[in-house]
């Protein structure tokens, strides 16, 4: 019956991932989830089952590029970078998110 932290990400995962990648040079998937969790003060958690399909979709759309590299613990990991197309998409998603939040606020103010 209760909602988990990941339920709050519905519809905003692309926005969050692209935003994190816009301020970091390159990150592997686990680091992306850590940044989102840290920046949200543990209010948001991205599960692997949601993150990796989203990253694959964003890679195919040209919003991110990916390459294999070694992680801090010397394991093989895929690293992601935001592209120019991804930055344009991020701007669009941010504008849409602000409109969405404003609309929800208007509904919440109903008496």
Q: Which domain holds residue 15?
A: 5-108
Q: What residues contact 3, with CB distance under 8 A and at least 6 apart? A: none
**Domain CATH number, residue 72:** 1.10.10.10
What is the Rg, in whole angstroms, of the alpha carbon atoms belonging to the chain?
Answer: 15
pTM of the model: 0.87
**5-49 per-position pLDDT tens digit:** 544 555 799 999 999 999 998 999 999 999 999 999 999 999 999
**Total structural domains in the chain?**
1
**51-100 per-position pLDDT tens digit:** 999 999 999 999 999 999 988 888 999 999 999 999 999 999 999 999 99
Q: How much is the pLDDT for 11?
A: 73
User: Quick check: helix, strand or coil at residue 24?
Assistant: coil
């Amino acid at each position: 019956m209760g909602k988990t932290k990941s339920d709050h990400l519905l519809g905003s995962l692309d926005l969050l991932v692209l935003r994190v990648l816009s301020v970091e040079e390159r990150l592997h998937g686990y680091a992306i989830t850590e940044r989102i969790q840290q920046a949200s003060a543990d209010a948001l958690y991205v599960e692997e089952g949601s993150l990796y399909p989203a990253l694959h979709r964003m890679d195919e759309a040209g919003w991110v590029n990916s390459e294999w590299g070694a992680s801090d613990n010397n394991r093989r990991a895929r690293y992601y970078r935001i592209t120019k197309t991804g930055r344009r998409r991020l701007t669009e998603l941010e504008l849409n998110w602000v409109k969405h939040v404003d609309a929800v606020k208007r509904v919440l103010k109903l008496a």
